[in-house]
Amino acid sequence: MDSFVYTLPSDPLARPLIEDLARDYDERYGLNDGIPSSFELQRYPAELFGPGTGGAFVLLIRDGEAIAGGAFKRTSPSVAEAKRVWTHPQFRRQGLGRLVMRELEREAAARGYTSMELTTGARQPEALGLYRTLGYTPLFDLEADYEEIGYLGFSKDLAAVSGDVAATG
């Protein structure tokens, strides 16, 4: 049975997520000014994804192993920023990314955030599709060259999600 576990990126249980994200970033984006793209994963301290700073880091666990996960950090008192959304390569195309995002949205709404923001890269078409199907509004011109834009931003109002939390919680 699958279950969500809240932890930190520094937890050994999160190692597959962090290592596979690093591999994926480096394969897709290579070097940026001579620095591996995976360096992005070191940009924020693990504590920013913990409850003490308004963040969350969640893993979807199956048979004791992380098969998907994601996080958010506080951007402002009302805005959470989704980060590190990942699904193990063996389990992709099964809707697990959608489950993780819904869990992150639910948790953010329960903590009083009113919107969720995120960015993804131009070379991650599956992420673009996921966020659009989940109701995220693109904050960029959909007709533009994504490579020229670089980071593709999205936003979503969590009012409907917080209504779901109130109705079920």
> pLDDT for 43-63, tens place per residue?
899 999 999 999 999 999 999
Q: Which of 30-39, 48-57, 63-72, 123-132 shows the lowest mean pLDDT across its residues?
A: 30-39
When divided into structural domains, the chain yields a total of: 1
The model's pTM: 0.90
Nearest alpha-carbon partner for 150 in 29, 18, 27, 23:
29
Mean pLDDT confidence for 8-21: 92
Contacts of 141 (CB under 8 A, 6+ apart): 149
> pLDDT for 63-86, tens place per residue?
999 999 999 999 999 999 999 999
Given this model, what pLDDT does residue 165 score?
A: 46
Q: For residue 113, which amino acid is it?
A: Y
Range of the domain at 93: 3-168
Nearest alpha-carbon partner for 14 in 74, 54, 43, 56:
56
Neighbours of 36 (CB within 10 A): 14
Q: What are phi and psi of 30, to 5 degrees?
A: 60, -140
CATH of the domain at 19: 3.40.630.30
